[in-house]
């Protein structure tokens, strides 16, 4: 029964992805392509935070590592951009693994603080080695263009590439969080002591989760660079990492399908919804919504409202709508032995 | 795992269907109707560079004023601007929206070297004018052959550097120069300009030039070396934060050079006040350049341009602080935009707009000078000369205002 629901959900997503190009403009498809990019990043972060219980405030930097890997290979070494994607994932994954090994000594908020250092040092390193990274001025990539002999609008092409990769990475994530390995991840999240007592090496599991999540973010970063066609340190600010974490909370940490909603939020809040809401407010109240920082206010308000009304994120809402129960495959939060989810601090419904 | 592989296979097969979908392109001159012209731009309204937010406010105020007086060739200007937070990734997305969704006629005033560099290829490939970018990076003026749809506006950093060079060669021909510069395109633009302005003869006056990387460390060692070099003129070619740090560090080291030159981007009253409050007593006497009427200085209150500016701001942007020079920067830029649109004629096309922008002659001689720039400043482009504004006046900071200390100087020697 659970498998069937999961397959149906996947089918619905695939159908939506295939049909979207007939309904949306090229610009919207470009945005939806970036939704797929964020989806890949959020899936990775969800494996680490939602399933393994390790909070990271630094995964924007792993996207950055992937983006720079792609950029340097394409611009300085003449690689085909699509071929750089797996390399971007592996390089970022190795960075994640390297960070995960020492980081496993930290727990809870201490780990979060340690991960906060990743984007800070990443930006510093980019500026420290300008001959390699392009420094503050960054690097331009070739403009988007369809490949493989196809003559398509560049935005449509990018949309197709991003969603094809996302629709591979999603089932892959299901594979990762199922089975022995997945149980070990959840065991570490729910009780490190209990999992150690049962023969699970928490250090290995945590490092592996860091590596896998960074791999996902690296793939996302490679695609991001191809789509944005430019990288510099400002492209990967610290608030990107925080926005990713917000995305998994709003999508529903510990739910993989929920990440689709998280990704929609991450993409649209910055570019579309925020400004629309601000314009609405300025019409009603004649407030100066172009004042610096007013966008952040809206962003914070949405976060507060969503967390108040739907503490389990979008996945929790869908779960309730579908069944009134809390255990639907794919949508449900994996069963927890503790009363609260360590990722969100929210009680499981 | 078997299920997973099945799912992946299914995903690949089905999403290959997407590839079948193809796109169509639109027609006519985008963004122009019988009654309106759509102009758009990205600016940092939030984030670390949000100090520049008054620029589009000034621009919008001037366009509203023009619309209230009949518009341009019978068309009203619809000017829209959006916040990119100085993040080039946002700039790219919003620019795609401007071009593909809103079908803007042209992009005007987009702010920031890196954000504008991020969209330059895209706009040139799509033949959308990227006019009057709000940055002085020389590449936006100099590289017009590779980027025919892109043009800057303000004096470029190289020209500004050369003006300091010329001034020093003339007025302090024996002084010893110590330079702090940001070791990237920005700082090197200034350094290259300075050397050109000094000319070969005065190059030996530079006794030390210390570069710093924008990696977060305050330039303490560099300033200490400059002090030790015995320089008596200190030139700061840096972005605002390191500039403020340089003022504070030099004071703490007890270094009081006879003169300090600071590039115009960082030498505003606001930034110098921060340096002063952070413990520097070196800010008074700072020399920099200006090319616009300065609303903070009562000296210009009687000029027609300042009167018009204050009237426009009072009516169309009543909440803005009209004493902030960034507003008049916006108004002056919008004035140039309107002139170029007018010159492009009734039958408005993007190519026509670029032709007008590449042949600007808004000069004192042609009796068409920009009223919001300093008297005598020309806005001029022609043929291989694509540096719209190149004249500036040296000004010195005393008691929270900048006092003119020279006549207009041309940084491009034309």
**What number is the ipTM of this complex?**
0.84
3-state secondary structure of B210: strand
| Number of Cβ within a 10 Å radius of residue A318 | 22
Poorest-pLDDT segment among B65-74, B179-188, B350-359, B375-384: B179-188
pLDDT, greater one: A75 or A128: A75
Q: Which residues of B touch A21 (CB under 8 A)?
A: 18, 21
pLDDT at B153 over 70: yes
Please report, for the domain that includes residue A99, its CATH number: 1.10.3470
* pLDDT, mean over chain A: 84
Q: In percent, how much of chain A has pLDDT > 90?
A: 36
Q: How far apart are CA B396 and CA B167, in angstroms?
A: 13
pLDDT digits (tens, 9 = 90+) for B71-83: 999 999 999 999 8
Least confident of A7-11, A107-111, B220-224: A107-111
> In Å, how far are A252, A289, B65, B225 from A282, measured between CA atoms?
31, 6, 21, 52
Instruction: Give the nearest partner residue to B53 out of A138, A168, A292, using CB atoms.
Output: A292
Residues in A 290-319 with any Cβ partner in B closer than 8 A: 290-296
Per-residue pLDDT, B342: 96
pLDDT the model gives residue B317: 93
Residue B377 has pLDDT above 50, yes or no: yes
| A171 vs B contacts (CB less than 8 Å) | 4, 7-8, 11
Kindly provide the residue ranges of all beta strands, DSSP E only, lying in B170-326, ordered along the sequence. 177-182, 206-212, 233-237, 259-262, 287-290
Q: How far apart are CA A55 and CA A245, in angstroms?
A: 8
Specify the CATH superfamily of domain B30-155+294-383: Response regulator (3.40.50.2300)
Domain boundaries, chain B: 30-155+294-383, 159-290
Per-residue pLDDT at B410 exceeds 90:
no
- Interface residue A2 vs chain B (CB under 8 A): no
Picking from B11, B21, B47, the nearest residue to A21 by CB comes out as: B21
Mutate to test the interface with A, among B19, B60, B125, B139 (most CBs of A within 10 A): B19
Q: What is the pLDDT of residues A219-232, one digit of tens each?
A: 999 999 999 999 99
- CB contacts < 8 A, A to B, total 173
Interface test with B, best of A128, A179, A234, A278 (most B CBs within 10 A): A234
- Cα separation, A163 vs B396, whole angstroms: 58
Among B153-157, B185-189, B334-338, B368-372, whose mean pLDDT is lowest? B185-189
pLDDT: which is higher, B270 or B387: B387
CB atoms within 10 A of CB A190: 17
Cβ contact A136:A127 at 8 Å: yes
Chain A residues with CB inside 8 Å of B83's CB?
A: 275, 290, 295
- Highest mean predicted confidence (pLDDT) among A91-105, A138-152, B136-150: B136-150
Within 10 angstroms of residue B270's Cβ, the number of other Cβ atoms is 12
Q: Which of A137, A151, A235 sits opposite B87 (nearest CB)?
A: A235
**A335 and chain B in contact, CB less than 8 A:** no
- Torsion (CA) A71, A73, A78, A83 in degrees, nearest 10: -100
Beta-carbon contacts of B279 under 8 Å, excluding residues fewer than 6 positions away, are B248, B251, B252
Identity of the residue in B11, B19, B125 whose CB atom sits nearest the CB atom of A150: B19
Domains B30-155+294-383 and B159-290 share a fold: yes
The confidence band for A195, taking pLDDT boundaries of 50, 70 and 90, is confident
pLDDT in tens, A239-278: 888 889 889 988 888 888 889 999 998 898 877 676 677 6
Domain B159-290: what homologous superfamily? Response regulator (3.40.50.2300)
Q: Nearest Cβ partner of B114 from A14, A232, A275?
A: A232
pLDDT attached to residue B23: 38
Strands B391-398, B379-380: parallel, antiparallel or unpaired by DSSP?
unpaired
Give the chain A residue whose CA is nearest to the CA of B19.
Answer: A160
**Contacts of residue A14 in chain B, CB cutoff 8 Å?**
10-11, 14-15
Sheet arrangement for strand B106-108: B76-83, B36-43, B106-108, B130-131
Instruction: Give Cβ neighbours of residue A6 (< 8 Å, ≥ 6 apart).
Output: A174, A329, A330
- Residue B325: Cβ within 10 Å count: 21
Distance CA A154, CA A136 (A): 28
Per the model's pLDDT, the better-predicted residue between B396 and B400 turns out to be B396
The domain total for chain A is: 1
In this prediction, residue B383 has a pLDDT band, given cuts at 50, 70 and 90, of very high
Mean pLDDT of A152-173: 93
Q: What is the 3-state secondary structure (H, E, C) of A103-168?
A: HCCCCHHHHHHHHHHHHHHHHHHHHHCHHHHCHHHCEECCCCCCCCCCCCCHHHHHHHHHHHHHHH
Determine the pLDDT at residue A48: 93
Min Cα–Cα distance to chain B from A347, Å: 30
CA pair distance A5, A332, nearest whole angstrom: 11
Residue A70: pLDDT band (50, 70, 90) is: very high
Indicate whether A349 pLDDT > 70: no
Q: Does A163 touch chain B (CB under 8 A)?
A: yes
What pLDDT, on a 0 to 100 scale, did the predictor assign at position B301?
92
Structural domain contains residue A340 = no
How near does any CA of chain A get to the CA of B4, in Å?
6
Segment holding B43, helix H or strand E: strand B36-43
Chain A interface, best mutation among B13, B46, B80, B123, by max A CB count within 10 A: B46
Q: Residue A153 is part of which domain span?
A: 2-323
Confirm if A243 and A318 have CB atoms less than 8 A apart: no
As a residue count, chain A comes to 349
Q: Indicate if the pLDDT at residue A325 is higher than 70.
A: no
How far apart, in whole angstroms, are the C-alpha atoms of residue B258 and residue A265? 56
Please check whether residue A119 lies inside any domain of the structure: yes
The confidence score (pLDDT) of residue A2 equals 67
Q: What is the pLDDT of residue B44?
A: 87
Q: Is residue A200 part of a domain?
A: yes
């Amino acid at each position: 029964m659970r498998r069937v629901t999961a397959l149906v959900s996947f089918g619905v997503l695939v159908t939506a992805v295939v049909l979207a190009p007939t309904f949306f403009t090229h610009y919207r498809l470009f945005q939806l392509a970036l939704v797929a990019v964020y989806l890949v990043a959020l899936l990775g972060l969800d494996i680490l935070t939602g399933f393994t219980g390790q909070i990271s405030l630094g995964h924007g930097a792993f996207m950055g590592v992937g983006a720079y890997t792609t950029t340097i290979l394409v611009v300085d070494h003449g690689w085909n951009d699509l071929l750089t994607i797996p390399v971007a994932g592996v390089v970022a994954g190795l960075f994640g693994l390297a960070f995960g090994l020492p980081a496993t000594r930290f727990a809870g908020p201490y780990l979060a603080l340690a991960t906060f250092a990743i984007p800070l040092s990443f930006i510093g390193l980019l500026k420290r080695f300008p001959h390699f990274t392009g420094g503050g001025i960054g690097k331009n990539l070739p403009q988007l263009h369809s490949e493989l002999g196809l003559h398509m609008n560049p935005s449509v092409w990018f949309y197709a590439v991003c969603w094809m990769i996302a629709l591979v990475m999603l089932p892959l994530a299901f594979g990762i969080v199922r089975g022995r390995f997945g149980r070990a991840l959840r065991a570490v999240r729910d009780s490190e002591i209990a999992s150690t007592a049962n023969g699970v090496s928490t250090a290995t599991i945590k490092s592996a989760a860091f590596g896998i999540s960074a791999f996902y973010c690296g793939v996302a970063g490679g695609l991001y660079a191809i789509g944005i066609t430019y990288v510099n340190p400002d492209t990967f600010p610290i608030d990107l990492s925080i926005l990713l974490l917000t995305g998994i909370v709003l999508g529903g940490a510990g739910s993989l399908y929920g990440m689709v909603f998280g990704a929609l939020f991450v993409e649209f809040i910055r570019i579309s919804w925020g400004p629309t809401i601000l314009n609405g407010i300025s019409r009603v109240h004649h407030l100066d919504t172009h004042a610096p920082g007013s966008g952040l206010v809206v962003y914070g308000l949405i976060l507060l409202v969503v967390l108040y009304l739907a503490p389990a994120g979008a996945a929790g809402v869908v779960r309730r709508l579908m069944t009134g129960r809390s255990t639907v495959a794919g949508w449900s939060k994996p069963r927890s032995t503790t009363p609260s989810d360590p990722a969100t601090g929210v009680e499981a419904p | 795992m078997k299920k997973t592989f099945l799912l992946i296979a299914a995903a690949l097969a089905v999403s290959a269907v997407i590839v079948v979908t193809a796109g169509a392109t639109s027609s006519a001159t985008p963004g122009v109707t019988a009654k309106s012209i759509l102009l758009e731009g990205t600016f940092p309204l939030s984030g670390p560079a949000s100090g520049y937010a008054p620029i589009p406010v000034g621009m919008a105020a001037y366009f509203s004023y023009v619309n209230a007086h009949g518009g341009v060739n019978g068309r009203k200007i619809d000017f829209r601007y959006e916040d990119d937070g100085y993040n080039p990734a946002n700039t790219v997305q919003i620019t795609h929206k401007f071009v593909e969704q809103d079908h803007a006629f042209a992009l005007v005033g987009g702010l920031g070297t890196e954000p504008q560099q991020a969209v330059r290829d895209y706009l040139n490939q799509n033949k959308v004018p990227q006019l009057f970018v709000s940055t002085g990076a020389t590449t936006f003026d100099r590289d017009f052959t590779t980027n025919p749809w892109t043009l800057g506006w303000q004096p470029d950093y190289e020209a500004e550097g050369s003006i300091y060079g010329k001034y020093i060669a003339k007025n302090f021909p024996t002084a010893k120069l110590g330079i702090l510069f940001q070791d990237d395109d920005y700082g090197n633009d200034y350094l290259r300009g300075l050397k050109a302005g000094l000319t070969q003869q005065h190059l030996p006056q530079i006794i030390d030039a210390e570069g710093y990387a924008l990696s977060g460390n305050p330039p303490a060692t560099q300033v200490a070396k400059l002090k030790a070099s015995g320089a008596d003129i200190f030139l700061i070619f840096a972005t605002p934060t390191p500039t403020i740090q340089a003022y504070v560090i030099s004071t703490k080291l007890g270094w009081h050079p006879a003169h300090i030159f600071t590039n115009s981007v960082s030498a505003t009253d606001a930034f110098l006040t921060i340096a002063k409050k952070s413990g520097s007593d070196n800010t008074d006497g700072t020399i920099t350049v200006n090319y616009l009427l300065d609303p903070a200085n009562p000296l210009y209150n009687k000029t027609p341009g300042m009167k018009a500016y204050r009237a426009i701001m009072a009516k169309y942007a009543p909440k803005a602080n009209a004493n902030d020079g960034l507003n008049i920067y916006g108004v002056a830029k919008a004035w140039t935009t309107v002139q170029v649109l007018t010159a492009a004629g009734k039958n408005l096309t993007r190519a026509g707009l670029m032709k007008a922008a590449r042949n600007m002659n808004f000069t004192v001689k042609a009796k068409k000078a920009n009223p919001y720039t300093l008297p005598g400043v020309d806005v001029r482009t022609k043929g291989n000369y694509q540096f719209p504004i190149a004249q500036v006046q040296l000004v010195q900071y005393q008691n929270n205002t900048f006092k003119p200390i020279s006549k207009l100087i041309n940084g491009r020697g034309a």
